[in-house]
Amino acid sequence: MALSFVLDDRMTLQLKAIDLKAARRAELLAGLDRDSREAIHRQARISTIGASTRIENAVLTDAEIEWIDTTLADDGRPTAFAARRARIEAKLSVDRERSIEEVAGCREMLSVIYSQAEELFPLSEATLCGLHRELLKHYPQAAFHLGRYKLVPNSVIERDVRSGSERTVLQTSDPGPITVTAMAELLAWYNRTLRAHPWPLAVGCELVFRFLACHPFQDGNGRLGRSLFLLALIQSADPSLAPLARYLAVDRFIEQHKAEYYSVLARVSGGRFHPDPHEYDIQLFLAFMIKAVDAALDSIVVYKKRIDTIRALSESATGVLQCFKEMPEQRLTPRFIRQQTALPERTVSRILRGLVDEEILQRYGRGAATRYQLVF
């Protein structure tokens, strides 16, 4: 089964290098206890949720998302968000309401992907629509088109939050028969090709790009499309990457290189949807995603170091850190920390310096204006 583009020798070497690095990361994870592996997965998941929603101009930080995740995990029921919604919105302020809804939906969609990916192969239209419903079910304005292909034309849009400007990156497929046909052909190709091709990472990249070029749903295509990349890695049964997919925060690299990401989408497509995928230069998107996966594999080591550092903290330092975890949206003063922990000033100052040195906290200001905030 073939891709719609040619893998040259250079890209093949890059894919082999990714496989070798993935094997090393798998060895690292295999040597850890279950709690450590789950902690790394949680950091990758929160990072993915944060980056994917911020790419679409949500505003919550990873530290705030970690707090939401902890709050919902403590409940543990499928209705956790509905039950805890008022508390979360009160904590993080109502002006971030849609961001909170997007985070909750993205969290639940990823949970389905992580836990059910193997059972969802072959990938079907019903599965895509189900994932779309999970993604947007907490956003009331999406109720009309939840889990349904678009009825109104849409495009891939790059928005600048600071300036309020936006530009069209890619004119997507028209709603109706063109989108329905393109998606049917894409899913059929994916199901035939994924497990027959030697490089499933490349298959996943083509799946994601062609999905984004169709933009089949009215809203949520970017978040869902990028999540399909993780789904493809897990469904591939690739011995190197499939076991690691749940530990990869690929969207973090995309967020950090957002302008390049949109530029690549435009260059691959020429700015418009093509019914024939051979007209795309998908190898350009693959080159970008190889860099994203490479960075995500490096992040596994970073996550492990952070977890080891937090576990090694003293009881007093753990108490100080807990103050920040309970108020992730705020910059706290040393005085407030002393009041909350009843620790001496010298002890609090020493702990804060240590947490900054370990890049767990960020320091802002000087002197009496000094504030600290949690870094994820």
Enumerate the CATH 1.10.10.10 domain ranges in the chain, comma separated.
315-374
Query: What's the CATH number of domain 315-374, 1.25.40.10, 3.30.450.20, 3.10.580.10, 1.10.10.10?
Result: 1.10.10.10
**pLDDT tens profile 303-343:** 999 999 999 999 999 999 999 998 888 899 999 999 999 99
Residue 195's pLDDT band (cuts 50, 70, 90): very high
Interacting residues of 20 by C-beta distance below 8 A, sequence separation 6+:
none
Using CA atoms, how far apart are residues 192 and 2, in angstroms rounded to an integer? 9
Residue 145: CB atoms within 10 A of its CB come to 17
For the residues 35-43, what does the mean pLDDT come to? Answer: 96
Which residue's structure tokens are 């992580």?
114
Residue 29: CB atoms within 10 A of its CB come to 17
The answer on pLDDT for 76 being more than 80 is no
Residue 158: its H or E element:
strand 155-159
**Has domain 9-309 been given CATH number 1.10.3290.10?**
yes
Using CA atoms, how far apart are residues 351 and 318, in angstroms rounded to an integer? 9
Burial of 300 (0-12, 13-18, 19+ CB in 10 A): buried
The pLDDT of residue 368 is 87
Average pLDDT, the chain: 94
The answer on pLDDT for 78 being more than 90 is no
The answer on pLDDT for 1 being more than 70 is no
The pLDDT of residue 93 is 67
The answer on pLDDT for 94 being more than 60 is no
**Residue 246 carries which side chain, given as an amino acid letter?**
R
Enumerate the CATH 1.10.3290.10 domain ranges in the chain, comma separated.
9-309
Strand partners, 49: none
Residue 92's pLDDT band (cuts 50, 70, 90): confident
The pLDDT of residue 223 is 97
The pLDDT of residue 79 is 79
Residue 91's pLDDT band (cuts 50, 70, 90): confident
**pLDDT tens profile 240-294:** 899 999 999 999 999 999 999 999 999 999 999 999 999 999 999 999 999 999 9
